[in-house]
Chain A
Amino acid sequence: MKMTKKQKHWLEAGIFLILLAVSLYGLSLLFRPKNNRQDFGMDEMKANGILAEPENTIDVVALGDSECALAISPMVMWREKGIAAYNCGTAGESLYETYGYLRQALEKQKPRLVILETNVIYKECKLEDYLFAKLERLIPALRYHDRWKSLRAEDLGPVEYTWQDPYRGYMFYADIVPADVKEYMFPTSDVRYIARWGKKSLDEIVKLCREAGAELILVSTPSALNWSYPNHNGIQALANEYGLTYLDMNLLGDELGIDWKTDTKDQGDHMNCFGAEKVSRWLAGWLKDNFDVPDHRGEEAYGRWDEDLKTYEAEWESVQS
C-alpha cells in the first residue's frame, strides 16, 4: 500500500520523536552521576548524601533552603534523643526542588516525619522553573547535560552511591557576625501569601508525604533577618488549610535562648553552629515529646552514627576553644 504524503509526514514526525526520546534516555543513563560524590558530577553533595544511607534507617527528613541546612543538626538530635534524622536542605533552594529532594529521599527511606523549614515556602517560584524542574526529573539528561565536560570511564558503569556525610546533611559554620536585634516578631494580622507555583509544589509535597505515610511538620527556624509575623501568619494559614502541625521557633524567645550576638553567622540571616546546637537540641526534645520517633542509640545498625557524632563533637570542641 502506498502511503500518502500526509501519512509520510506523520511517520517522519513520529520517528523523530521516538529517536529523540531514545537518545535522551541514553544520554540520561550516561550523564547521571554514578556516585553521589562531587568528582562524579553530583551537585549538592551533602543533601545527596542521603542516597548512600542504608535503606529504611532515617526516621526524620528535614527539607528546606539554607535556613534548614544551617539550623538543624541531625548529629545533635542523635546525641540528645537518638533520633535518626537527615537534613536535605540546600542553599538557595526553591519549593519545586524541595519536592525533588523529598521524592529522592523516599526512594530508599520510609521516614516517620518530614520537617519542612518554612523559609523555602516564600522563595520565588516561577512557572518556568517549576516546569523545568519537572522536566529535569523526567529527563535527567537535562539536569546533568553539563557532564559532557567531565565524562570518564566509570560513567559507563552502574550507579553506586557510596559517600555518607558524617553530619547527615547539616552545614557546620562557626563564623559569628552578630545581629543588632532585640525583637523582630511584632504581632500583626497581616498575612504574607505564597506564590501560585510555590503553592502547587507545596500541594505535591503534602500529597507525597501522605502517600508515603510520613507526617509533614512545618518548622520555622530562627532568622531575625528573614522571618516576620506576616510570614508566620501565612504559614499558620497554610498549616490550618492542610491540617499540619506548625512550629515557629522565632516565637520561642528565652525558652530557646538564641543570642543574636553569638548564634548567627551573618547578622541574623542564618544560624551558626552555636545557634544550630540550641535549635537542634530543642527540636529533638519537642519531636520526642510530641511524635512517635524511635531512639536508635545502642542499635547495631546505627553504630556508624556514634562514630560520626565523635567527628561532629571534635569539630564542635575545636570551635569552642
Chain B
Amino acid sequence: MTSYCSLVFLGIFLPAVIAVYGICPRRLRPWVLLGASYALFWEMSGRLLVFLLFTTLSVYGAGLGLEALEKEEKKEIAELRASADLKREKRAIKKLYRGRRRVLLILGVFMELGILIVLKYSSFFAFNLNRLSELLGLSLTVHVPSFVLPIGISFYTLQAVSYLTDVYRGTIRAERLLPKLALYMVFFPQIMEGPICRYAQTAGQLWEGRPVTWKGLTRGLQRIGFGLLKKMVIADRLNPAIKEIYGNYGSYDGGIMALGMVLYTVQLYMEFSGTMDVVIGCGETFGVTLPENFQRPFLSRSISQFWHRWHITLGTWFKDYIFYPMTTSGWLSGMARKMRGRFGSRGAAVLSSGAALFAVWLGNGLWHGAGWNYIFFGLYHFAWIMFENITEPGVRRLTARYGIDRDSLPYRAMQIIRTGLIVCVGELFFRAEGLKAGFAMFGRMVAGFTLASFKDGTVLCLGLDMQDFFIAAFTLLLVAAVHFLAERGVDLRERLETGTAVIRLTACLGLALFVIVFGAYGANYIPVDPIYAGF
C-alpha cells in the first residue's frame, strides 16, 4: 500500500477500520484507530516503525519532564517565606527553571530533529562536503550510508516538535496518557502526507472515539470522491507528459518547457490537494476534523498570500515555531534596535523580519528534500516575499497617485496571474531533476520560447492526446468552479445534504462514474507517486 488513493486502502483497509471502529464501544474506538495506524505504518515501513516509537516515547517523556519542572518551580515559589527579598528570590527561581525547561526543550527538539537530519540529510551534506573538499584539493572524504526513511518522518517530526514547544509555552498540558499522544502522532490518514496537526487540534477528537454518523460518513465519502477526481482524472492523466518533458527537456523547445511548467504546477496542486481531500474525508468518516491544508491558493494576489493558502499547516508551523521565536528573540530584537538608526524603523523591521524569513524559507526548502533545487525553491520564494515587502509601500503610493483601484477586477486579475506565474516558475525548479536542469529548462523557456511545437503537433507526442488534454482541462474547470463557489462561501456538500435525495444521488453517482470513466488508472497508465509522501 503506497497511496491513500489505492484500491487496497480505500477498498479494504479504510472500510474495515470504519466497520470495526463503528461496532466497537466508544472507549475502545481510539484503540482501534491506534492499532490500525500502527498496522498501516508497519505495512509501509516495516521495522522503521521503531523510529516513530522512539520519537513518540521521547516527546512523551520530555513533555512530562517540562511539566514536572513547572510544578517544581511553583512549589519552590510557594515555599518562599515573606521577606524583603521575596521578589528577587522569585525572579531567581523563575529564571533558574526557565533555563532548565529551555534546556529540556532544546534537548527534546534536537533529538527529534536529529533523527530527521541524520536520516534525510546526512548523505546530502556528506556529498556536498566531499565535493567541496575535492574542489579545495583536500583529501577529506566523508562516507555516509544512505538511509531508508520511515514513511511520514518529515510530518510526524514537526508534530512532535510542535507538541513539545506547546507544552513548554504552556499552550497545552503535557499528556499523561501515552496512547493518546501516540495516536496524535500516528493517526493513519495523515501519517503519509499530513496535514501537520497541533496537539490541541486533533488529539482530543481522536481520543474521544466519536461515533460513525451518516452525516460524517457521507460528507467524508463525498470529499474522498472529490479528491480522487483531482488526483486520478487530472494529476495522474498529466503524468506521462510531465515525465517526458522533465526527463528529456533537451529535446523540446521553450514552448514545451512552458507547458511542462504549467502542467507540473497543476499536477502538484491536484495531487497534493486531492490527497488532502482524501485524508480529510477519511478523518470525517471517524468524526475527526483535520485542519485544511489548502484554501484556493491560485486565487492569491501575492506570494505571501499564496503561502497562507498553500500547504497551510506547514506554513503556520514555520511561522509559529521558527519565525515568531526568532523575531521575538533577544538578539534579533537587539539587532533591529541597532539598525533603526541607520535604516529607519521600517527598514530595520524589514531587515530583522527578513533574517527570520530567510531561516523560514531555507527550512521550508530543505524540508521538501535534500537537494539544491529545493533550497533554491525556498530561497526563490523568500526573495519574492522580501521583494513584495519592500516594494509594497511604493506600489501603494503609485496606485493611489494614478487613481488605480487595487480592488478592481482587472487589478486583482493581474495580481492573481502574476502570482500564478511566479509560483509556476518556482515549481519548474522544484520538479526539475536537479538545479542545473532547472536553470537549463528555465533558460530554454525564456530564450527559446516558440509556439512551433504546438503548431507542428509535437505537443501531442508527449504521451497525451487531444482527448487527454481536453478531459484534464474540462475537469480542471469543474474543480475551479467548485473552488470559486467555496471562495464565495458556498458549501456544496452542505447544499447536497439539505437538498432532495434525487439531487444527492445524481451528484454522487455522477462523481463516481466520472472518476471511473475518466480516471487515469489501469494497464495503460502509471499514476503519479504520492509527491508529498516523498518529502
Residues on A facing B (Cβ under 8 Å): 5-6, 8-9, 12, 15-16, 19-20, 23-24, 27, 43, 127-128, 131-132, 135-136, 141-143, 145-146, 148-149
Contacts and interface: CB of A to CB of B under 8 A. Distances in A.
Given A12-B501, A16-B505, A19-B505, A128 B1 contact: yes
B214 A9 contact: yes
B516 interface: yes
Contacts of A135: 7
Given A12-B501, A135-B7, A136-B522, A145 B516 contact: yes
A9 B218 CA distance: 10
A127 B523 CA distance: 15
B476 interface: no
A142 B521 CA distance: 9
Closest 8 CB pairs of A and B: A9-B214, A149-B467, A128-B8, A145-B517, A19-B509, A128-B6, A132-B7, A131-B7
B8 A127 contact: yes
29 contacts: A5-B214, A6-B214, A9-B214, A16-B505, A16-B508, A19-B509, A20-B509, A20-B513, A24-B516, A27-B517, A43-B524, A127-B8, A128-B1, A128-B6, A128-B7, A128-B8, A131-B12, A132-B7, A132-B522, A136-B522, A141-B516, A142-B522, A143-B523, A145-B516, A145-B519, A146-B524, A148-B467, A148-B517, A149-B465
Residues of A contacting B: mostly = helix
Highest count of chain A CB atoms <10 Å: which of B6, B12, B505, B517? B517
A23 B509 contact: yes
Contacts of B504: 12
Interface in B493-535: 501, 504-505, 508-509, 512-513, 516-519, 521-524
A143 B11 contact: no
Contacts of A142: 516, 522
B513 A27 contact: yes
Given A20-B509, A43-B523, A145-B522, 5 more contacts: A9-B214, A27-B516, A128-B1, A128-B8, A131-B7
Contacts of B12: 131
Contacts of B6: 128
A149 B464 CA distance: 12
Highest count of chain A CB atoms <10 Å: which of B12, B505, B518, B519? B505
A43 B1 CA distance: 27
Nearest to A133: B523
A175 B501 CA distance: 63
Interface string B82-112: 0000000000000000000000000000000
B509 A148 contact: no
Contacts of A141: 516-517
Nearest to A141: B516
B106 to A, nearest CB: 43
Contacts of A12: 501, 504-505
Contacts of A127: 1, 8
